Chains A and B, each alone.
Chain A
Amino acid sequence: MSTIALTEEHHHGSASGHRWSGPAPKRIVTGYGFWIFILSDMVMFSAFFATYAVLLGQTAGGPRGRDLFDLRNVAIETAFLLASSFTCGLASIAADERNAIWFQIAMAVTCAFGLGFLALEGNEFASLVARGAGPTRSAFLSAFFTLVGCHGLHVSAGILWLLTMMAQVFTKGFRPDIQRRILCFALFWHALDIIWIAVFTVVYLLGSAA
């Protein structure tokens, strides 16, 4: 954090007597640290995207994306994830308002949409493998399963985290440390939806159009 700038601003700032002092509140430090983690996660995904783009044509005589992808399935997956992002936002508001019932309801709906997404994705993967288009078929399919599967793993981890937060709010209430975990979880879940935008555009839509 830019200590110097902040200090200066306050020296020249209002005469209200408020001065910047000491380290930032824990909520900001924690949230900022987790924000850095999310950005590093996006850097990791960018490597997977680059790999996928490089290996896109290496089908080894096997099926290409447009032969395999079912866009209706992808559209439903996208809708599920977007809806879950929205309800996750509602859960954040409920947490800030310390409304346990609405928090649990919003989180449960978020969880249901997340599980629906995972079920659809698992279904898609299983049908690809059954059709002989598993990750071992070609470099293109290896890259496809790595990229999309990695996002799926993140969603799975997110759902475990979500259930943990529901349990912690239930047993411990809205303590400041629990609130910070909810903040980080919300960041994580929204970030997953942002990565999914890139996945459905680059992998599915461009793969079917081009």
Chain B
Amino acid sequence: MSSGHDEVFDDTDLAPGDEHVEGSGIGLRVLGYLTGLGLAVLLTATSFFVAGTDLVWEPSIPVALVVLAIAQMGVHLVFFLHITTGADNTNNVLALAFGVLIVLLVMGGSLWIMANLNHNMMPMDQIMQMQR
């Protein structure tokens, strides 16, 4: 368990952000953050490269950027926030899953509805003509 706190830890849970460390592990923990930093830098650099280059087939660029962003969010969650699939993290992961569900519903739903309204709305000049 993560060391250094006064409080006694329950064997079955871990607070979000706390790390499950076996044995003594300052070096190991720093290494974890360094790994996260390295991966994040790699993914960010790739994102900026893809956005500004002619080497990549252009229609694929938005998809590539979104995939890279999601990958980097995963890296941050695992290496900085220490959200894992372990049994001590079940509650944290479930809360996160619910949050992601709501985020997807809000964004996807808004875009879907607004695109639909946009599509079905009469062009502005015709509305103006009807008001005359």
Contacts and interface: CB of A to CB of B under 8 A. Distances in A.
A30 interface: yes
Given A36-B95, A190-B80, A205-B65, A54 B111 contact: yes
Q: Is the interface of A mostly helix, strand, loop or mixed?
A: helix
B7 A42 contact: no
Contact of B91 (A1, A198, A209): A1
Interface string B21-43: 00000100110011011001100
B15 A30 contact: yes
Interface stretch (A92-100, A130-138, A140-148, A156-164): A92-100
Most B C-beta atoms less than 10 A away, residue of A27, A34, A36: A27
Contacts of A186: 17
Interface residues of B, number: 58
B110 A75 contact: no
B8 interface: yes
Interface string B88-112: 0011100110110011001101110
Most B C-beta atoms less than 10 A away, residue of A40, A98, A197: A197
Interface in B57-93: 61-62, 65-66, 68-69, 72-73, 76-77, 80-81, 90-92
A36 B99 CA distance: 8
B125 interface: no
Interface of B: 2-18, 26, 29-30, 33-34, 36-37, 40-41, 44, 47-48, 51-52, 61-62, 65-66, 68-69, 72-73, 76-77, 80-81, 90-92, 95-96, 98-99, 102-103, 106-107, 109-111, 114
Interface of A: 1-2, 6, 9-10, 18, 20, 24-28, 30-32, 34-36, 39-40, 42-43, 46-47, 49-51, 53-54, 71, 75, 78-79, 82-83, 85-86, 89-90, 92-93, 95-98, 174-176, 179, 183, 186-187, 190-191, 193-194, 197-198, 200-202, 205-206, 208-210
